[in-house]
Chains A and B, each alone.
Chain A
Amino acid sequence: MPFVTSATLARRYDVIVVGSGAAGGQSAYTLSLEGAKVLMLEAGRKYDPESETPMFQTPDQAPLRAASTPDKRFGFYDATVDGGWEVPGEPYVQTAHDAAGRFDWWRARMLGGRTNHWGRIALRNGPYDFKGHTRDGLGFDWPLSYSDLAPYYDKVEMLVGVYGSNDGLENTPDSAPGCLLPPPTPILSDLLIAQRARRLGVPVIAGHRAVLTQALDFNTSPARLHPGNPGAQQLIAADMQRRAACIWATPCSRGCSIRANYQSTTVHLPPALASGNLDIVTDAMAHEITLGRHGLASGVRFIDKTSGKECHAAARVVVLAASACESVRILLNSRSARFPSGLANSSGKVGRYLMDTVGSSLGGQIPLLESLPPLNEDGASESHVYTPWWLYREQLAGKLGFARGYHIEFGGGKRMPGLGTLAGIEWLTGGSYGKKFKEDARRYYGSFVSFDGRGEMIPNKGSYCEIDPQVKDKWGIPVLRFHWKWSQQETRQAAHMQQTFKAIIEAMGGRVNGAAQTDGAKAIQAGGSIIHEVGGAIMGKNAQTSVTNRWGQTWDVKNVFLADGAVFASNADKNPTLTIMALAWRGADHVLDLMRRKEL
């Protein structure tokens, strides 16, 4: 009975996993396939990608041509339901509303969380990314090295399916043989960007995304994923064969009913449920971790949203995987005589060192790409290629004025026309209308490129969250209050991005749309807008300066683990999801190990 209710819970589980996204999905997968009895609590509703994904729908079939609205921030067909930067009935408090000080908190209240809609960009952190403080004196080192996590990156890539190539570039790790799927052929604008960027010394290599460019290797991978566990090998081999390869159409952000990309609901949860060891309760809003005898966690108190009643589930171990800020909120709301300022918070560090990704964008129009013949450039939706950070030497020599790097994602191609495709082109047409406008539309369609910089933010004391003393959500649970600050490390980086993008556009013979921003404070996007928030319960070397050890195990309560981005001690330019999954797998292995040794 995989999907259960608050009334049909088992009396006790080995592990409760709070959250069902990248961290929760990976934790539940690893634990249940290795034999632990697991309960997953998900705050949102049950979600079935196979029947709910709008594959092939066109904008004219949606309200408002599928435009973004407050109900669907990324447009009507985005996979997210019951989510966004605002969730009805679930407020949070911002201490500042200006672009420099605001933090907007994205949540997705649905089974699988954000993994249903994410961009599937799956980059590994490199060796430098775990040892930033040692390298340049800023931020924190992680209590583990790249080599500790590399085997788990390999496993995650084999399990979920990631395309990419091994290029041997600095701090941009190669995968072990047999891990990566072949990358898709670049689209036309990718090749032009690559040619012209290269002339500027900017590398362009294959993107890394969790999309099946071909079927997974169900013959070889299962034994590498679950050595010594033939039952798990059989389960995952069977499930790998049920996933189809990409059909090169219909955007990944809608989700994928044929399971050709990674989302927790199509990759982690089906085999975990098939193991018979996983129960899931949806509409279960976790409120606090309860403390039992000997100072150990006894379980999780949650609101059954279908009845509004408070319920309790019991387990030997609790794994928080609710997303960085939600896991922090649960810890801070778990108050007791022993932990008056929140569970596992003797360091006072819970909520501290929140980070997002530095984001800045610029677009341009490229005459060489005008009036092209028809091309199907849907491809794998995005990022067939990208630019990894390349100025390590100049940066270390102090030549750039900011300490950490960024990578570049490209937009371009003859995408399915939508509401914005030919909007705002007066700067090119001089204001044409009538037959001339139709000719202009044919000429300019497909000739636009865009550049998104994604850079590292260094943790600072001004970016944190805490419990607001007054405001509660509709369930009566106290909410978070956010404080946010960028330093010059980030704003200078954003300004550098703008100049790089401008240089590439001009090297392509193109024109910048608008102007490249020279003021980094204006170039940088507001906190939370890239939706890569991590930190808040960072891992470290000791109990005074960090919340967890290198396994995500809290220093204060040994049977409470954090599996999500909350434990990140730095936020490399690499998108966090692959690292979250690798850490979650590694943490779950450690939980299993401790349980086998009866230490939990």
Chain B
Amino acid sequence: MDRRTTIKWMLAASASMPLLQRPAAGMDSVAAAAPAQGRGYGTDPDLTRIYHSGDLWPLLLTPAQRRTAGALCDLIIPADAVSPSASAAGVVDFLAEWVSAPYARQEADRSVILDGLAWMDAEAIRRFGREFATLEEADQHQICADICSEQNAQPAFAQAAKFFARYRDLTAGGYYSTALGRKDLQYIGNVPLKSFAGPPLALLQKLGLESGTDRARVTPGET
């Protein structure tokens, strides 16, 4: 994030200033300093091979950005009794791939995400004198509590809340689309079956859906 952007966001965060417009992509943010390299995968990629982050275009995140990104995505999806944290599922690699991709949607996200990560560090330094990743968890929560809801954020944090919402969506998308995420949600499909049974009778009865005798039958409307 360049100095001007940092100052704008800092002002917005520290004094209840009116909502500032997000800097346009490539104009007023770090994204301008590090444009995406290379082209997309084209209209006829091999659909059957397995791709890894960094296979198709260089990754733009610096080690410092990765550190902040990892801390924030693990705050959003921490390890619990059921499943590991976001970074353990490779979400930082996914985020790096995403913000580095040479497509318009990802380029728009790049400025949001990189500016947002810089803001997290700047805000952490402002409040606690240290970068976000090195804060105590309680201090990290103190910042996130102000920005975790776009609807409830104070005007001063509206910009940061917008970033957080996007970051949470990408973190959740990156996480639940992995084997660990599928397991967490108890997704049990994507396996070949001989027949398709449909929902179990007990569940139908619990939801009041069928008497149980003709559960496959779907009848026309009454009129």
Contact = CB atoms under 8 A, between A and B. Distances in A.
Interface of A: 45, 51-54, 56-67, 69-72, 76-77, 81-84, 87-88, 167, 169, 184-188, 190-192, 194-195, 197-198, 200-206, 246-250, 254, 368, 372-380, 385, 390, 414-424, 426, 430-435, 437-438, 441-442, 445
Contacts of B128: none
Interface stretch (B13-21, B42-50, B62-70): B42-50
Contacts of B44: 45, 81-82
B221 A201 contact: yes
B187 A414 contact: yes
A407 B193 CA distance: 30
A246 B90 CA distance: 33
Given A430-B149, A438-B184, A65 B189 contact: no
Give 6 closest A-B pairs by Cβ, nearest first: A431-B149, A185-B198, A419-B173, A203-B221, A378-B189, A203-B220
Nearest to A213: B196
B138 interface: no
| Most B C-beta atoms less than 10 A away, residue of A45, A203, A414, A431 | A431
Q: What secondary structure prevails in chain A residues at the interface with B?
A: loop
Interface string B192-223: 11111111000110010110000110111111
A77 B46 CA distance: 10
A418 B187 CA distance: 11
Interface string B137-175: 000010010001111100000000000010011001110
Given A59-B177, A63-B45, 15 more contacts: A64-B106, A69-B40, A70-B40, A70-B104, A83-B43, A84-B43, A248-B195, A373-B186, A375-B203, A390-B221, A417-B185, A431-B149, A431-B151, A438-B80, A438-B82
B199 A187 contact: yes
A366 B204 CA distance: 15
A192 B209 contact: yes
Nearest to A393: B223
A70 B185 CA distance: 30
Contacts of A249: 189-193
Given A201-B222, A378-B190, A60 B80 contact: no
B47 A53 contact: yes
A374 B188 contact: yes
Contacts of A375: 188, 199, 203
B1 interface: no
A433 B51 contact: no
Interface stretch (B4-12, B25-33, B71-79, B114-122): B71-79
B173 A432 contact: no
7 contacts: A87-B43, A184-B196, A186-B198, A191-B199, A205-B220, A418-B176, A437-B168
Contacts of B203: 188, 372-373, 375
Contact of A65 (B150, B151, B177): B177
